[in-house]
A and B are shown apart, each in its own frame.
Chain A
Amino acid sequence: MLRKVTLLAAALVLIGGPALASSKVKEPQDIAFSFEGPFGTFDQAQLQRGYKIYREVCSACHSMNLLAFRNLGDRGGPFYDPAYSPAHGKTSNDNPVVKALAAEAQVADIDPETGDAIKRPGTPADRFPAPFANDAAARASNGGALPPDLSLMAKAREGGPEYIASLLQGYLTPPAGLIVPAGQHYNASFPGGVSAGWDEKKQGHPPEGGLIAMAPPLADDKVSFDDGTKSTVRQQAQDVAAFLMWAAEPKLEERKQMGLSVMIFLILFSGLLYASYRRVWRHESH
């Protein structure tokens, strides 16, 4: 009953009365990602760097439940190798890089002999293992905040990958007068608002950004890149944002590629139909 009343109240507030205005944030950076535009494709080296950042940093707290190791070797993915594609009678499950990456992980399973819960090395068919057994465990380890699943993050926030890259670089020095509560961090790109540490009546217009439970995850040289790219926070933020975009939209390349053929066909077909229309109607005024 209480839930019903709350829902109705929420509906009423949203319909009738003024809702809470969302707080202002720092304008997200405009990043020229390789996957933008009608012909954009993922930069495989960037996806590989992004995956490494995810594995070494993000995955300590964030799950990616929709991703399986095999996806890493799918077309357009970070470790795609044409030699392990259906064209060669193989799949990403056969890709040795993918197999090795999967084997690094320990995944939960049931021993078929004893029925005991066990851990075993991962296979390409396994999903990325989640860092916590359940949401309660995740909250308990993160000061009550639940680190969201990252599988769709690049599509689940306004601004997408540019928002993610901005957020990861948004840990600026808190503005004077802002009280940052313990376990919270000031982030100029986070839309949560700063009401917990700012009295609007006394202090006036609040600063942009919000208070976020996630501590600054990146630092210069925190992740070493195998391809020699200089590991700055900016580079890391952009690479992991690109990786998350791939994770959220793995069929992006396939989609744009098919789009090109469809557009060429439709434009030619429309031209033909227009010519037919003119020909059919050539003796009829209208």
Chain B
Amino acid sequence: MSGHSTYEPKTGFTRWLDARLPILRLGHDSFVDYPTPRNLNYWWTFGGILSLCLAVQIVTGIVLAMHYTPSAAAAFTSVEHIMRDVNYGWLLRYMHANGASMFFIAVYIHMLRGVYYGSYKAPREVLWILGCVIYLLMMATAFMGYVLPWGQMSFHGAVVITSLFSAFPVVGEAITTLLWGAFAVDEPTLKRFFSLHYLLPFMIAGVVILHVWALHVVGQNNPTGVDPKSKADTLPFTPYATVKDAFGMSVFLILFATLVFYMPDALGHADNYVPANPLVTPAHIVPEWYFLPFYAILRALPDKLMGVLAMFGAIACIFALPWLDTSKVKSMRYRPQARAYFLIFLVVCIILGFCGAKLPSDQVIPGLVTVPVFGDDLNSFVWLSRLATAYYFAYFLVVMPLLGLTEKPLPVPETISSPVLGDADKKD
């Protein structure tokens, strides 16, 4: 897509600069003249929204770090100092904490949009994998950030998650000791998590640059999945995409502000307002909502190592998606069967999220006692998560490869503009 540059420096200074460092040309070609498919819908505004999220997290985080003390003795009170005594500290902290949730809402929508419209297919495999790397870094950053307030859920969440690595044979113990910097979650753990929590967002920013670079090489996918063929198929990024993205961001910010100003603790846990105490374990340790589906997969398997492998496998499937899907047609708009499986997948992910928040032994239908299978009653969240986990993996490992070979897709338009300009397709 990165064709001939149309940038023309207008003033003496910009001509001088362009001959030395064509940075304005880069900006012009990337964000002004860059051709975008004309049929992009609102699901495509989440890329811009995500860069906004990253910027908000980095800016609020840098200021929070000026007031935060990464020590087991002072972390909790320093967060309360931010909440009570730092000017607008409450705003910064609530923006940062809820910003993490908003970031994940946006990234999940962005990823699911990619799955639905086949945005991972050739030639966008590297673009997709870079996105997966960003997601992985986001998970690590969010997990370590949640530990920093050193509340009960911070501490015991850190214990549970870091202990997972001990499941690996031979190297497991060494990995956990390295993560902890000690023989338990303690002062050194908090200090290294703080350091890494500050580092990783800049790594994310770096991979975002690669992600955008790859995007500008291959061009954006679009709801038809048909690549632009002529000028009629595209519009310049500015003003067309900029104004639409800006509107999307603004609506997203309304939701963000609702959380920050009116329900700032709705997505948190009451236990995290209790200072960390290694000797008292909370009755119910749950991770933040965005990890719940993976937490459910982890607990679905009876063996710890198998659970850990399944959890990492669930993420690995997302990475391998470009090679798991055999369909020649990109967009599910023309794949009715794939669309049905995708919708089930969506529901299954939400079910997994619910299962992750419940105790495995809790009954799904209250009061109903059925037959125990492998030691657990069938009417329990552990069995529901097992079924959902089975579908999760089947979707990637069975449905994706086989459906592409067997399904009969609907006719795909020749060009983007033929259905758009002809107004033939008003389905989505």
With the chains together, A157 CA to B94 CA distance in Å?
A: 19
Knowing A4-B184, A18-B359, A66-B84 touch, does A259 contact B262 (C-beta < 8 A)?
A: yes
* B256 to chain A: closest residue by CB: A266
User: Is A281 within 8 A of B240, CB to CB?
Assistant: yes
List B contacts of A281 (CB < 8 A): 240, 243-244
Please list the 7 inter-chain residue pairs (A to B) with the smallest Cβ-Cβ separation, ordered nearest first. A259-B261, A18-B361, A156-B273, A11-B163, A273-B247, A270-B250, A251-B90
User: Is B257 within 8 A of A266, CB to CB?
Assistant: yes
Assess whether B304 is interfacial by the CB under 8 Å rule: yes
With the chains together, A254 CA to B164 CA distance in Å?
A: 42
* A11 to chain B: closest residue by CB: B163
With the chains together, A155 CA to B83 CA distance in Å?
A: 13
* Supplied contacts A18-B361, A19-B283, A267-B254, 18 more A-B pairs, CB within 8 Å: A3-B183, A4-B183, A7-B278, A10-B159, A14-B160, A15-B304, A15-B307, A16-B302, A18-B359, A20-B283, A21-B359, A22-B284, A66-B84, A251-B90, A263-B257, A266-B250, A284-B240, A286-B39
With the chains together, A19 CA to B159 CA distance in Å?
A: 16
Contact pick for A156, options B185, B274, B420, CB 8 Å? B274
List B contacts of A273 (CB < 8 A): 243, 246-247, 250
Contact pick for B184, options A7, A152, A156, CB 8 Å? A7
Please report which residues of chain A, range 107-134, place their CB below 8 angstroms from some CB of chain B when the two chains form the complex: none
With the chains together, A65 CA to B269 CA distance in Å?
A: 21
List B contacts of A19 (CB < 8 A): 283-284, 359-361
Assess whether B299 is interfacial by the CB under 8 Å rule: yes
User: Is A280 within 8 A of B243, CB to CB?
Assistant: yes
Could you pull out 13 A-B pairs where Cβ atoms are within 8 angstroms? A8-B166, A10-B156, A12-B304, A17-B360, A19-B283, A21-B359, A66-B80, A157-B270, A250-B84, A251-B90, A262-B261, A266-B257, A284-B235
User: Is A266 within 8 A of B253, CB to CB?
Assistant: yes
User: Is B298 within 8 A of A15, CB to CB?
Assistant: yes
Tally of chain B residues near chain A (CB < 8 A):
61
Assess whether A256 is interfacial by the CB under 8 Å rule: yes
Interface of B is mostly: helix
List A contacts of B244 (CB < 8 A): 277, 281
Please report which residues of chain A, range 243-286, place their CB below 8 angstroms from some CB of chain B when the two chains form the complex: 248, 250-251, 254-256, 258-259, 262-263, 266-267, 269-270, 273-274, 276-277, 280-281, 284-286
With the chains together, A60 CA to B287 CA distance in Å?
A: 36
User: Is A286 within 8 A of B159, CB to CB?
Assistant: no
Counting chain B CB atoms within 10 Å of each CB, the highest count among A20, A156, A274 belongs to A156
List B contacts of A21 (CB < 8 A): 359, 361-362
List A contacts of B376 (CB < 8 A): 18
Assess whether A175 is interfacial by the CB under 8 Å rule: no
List B contacts of A14 (CB < 8 A): 160, 285
Assess whether A38 is interfacial by the CB under 8 Å rule: yes
Assess whether A1 is interfacial by the CB under 8 Å rule: yes
User: Is A8 within 8 A of B163, CB to CB?
Assistant: yes
User: Is A155 within 8 A of B270, CB to CB?
Assistant: yes
How many contacts A-B (CB < 8 Å)? 137
User: Is A11 within 8 A of B159, CB to CB?
Assistant: yes
List A contacts of B274 (CB < 8 A): 148, 152, 156
User: Is A11 within 8 A of B160, CB to CB?
Assistant: yes
Knowing A19-B284, A22-B283, A280-B239 touch, does A7 contact B163 (C-beta < 8 A)?
A: yes
List A contacts of B77 (CB < 8 A): 66
Please report which residues of chain B, range 309-365, place their CB below 8 angstroms from some CB of chain A when the two chains form the complex: 359-362
Please report which residues of chain B, range 231-248, place their CB below 8 angstroms from some CB of chain A when the two chains form the complex: 235, 239-240, 243-244, 246-247
Knowing A258-B91, A262-B257, A263-B257 touch, does A15 contact B183 (C-beta < 8 A)?
A: no
Assess whether B125 is interfacial by the CB under 8 Å rule: no
Interface positions of A (Cβ within 8 A of B): 1, 3-4, 7-8, 10-12, 14-22, 38, 66, 71, 148, 151-152, 155-158, 160, 191, 248, 250-251, 254-256, 258-259, 262-263, 266-267, 269-270, 273-274, 276-277, 280-281, 284-286
List B contacts of A155 (CB < 8 A): 265, 270, 273
List B contacts of A152 (CB < 8 A): 80, 273-274
Assess whether B199 is interfacial by the CB under 8 Å rule: no
With the chains together, A281 CA to B235 CA distance in Å?
A: 10
Distance to closest chain A CB from B417 (angstroms): 9
Contact pick for A259, options B247, B260, B278, B304, CB 8 Å? B260
User: Is A255 within 8 A of B281, CB to CB?
Assistant: no
Assess whether B271 is interfacial by the CB under 8 Å rule: yes
List B contacts of A8 (CB < 8 A): 163, 166
Distance to closest chain B CB from A69 (angstroms): 14
Please report which residues of chain B, range 378-428, place their CB below 8 angstroms from some CB of chain A when the two chains form the complex: 382, 420-421, 423
User: Is A18 within 8 A of B273, CB to CB?
Assistant: no
List A contacts of B359 (CB < 8 A): 18-19, 21
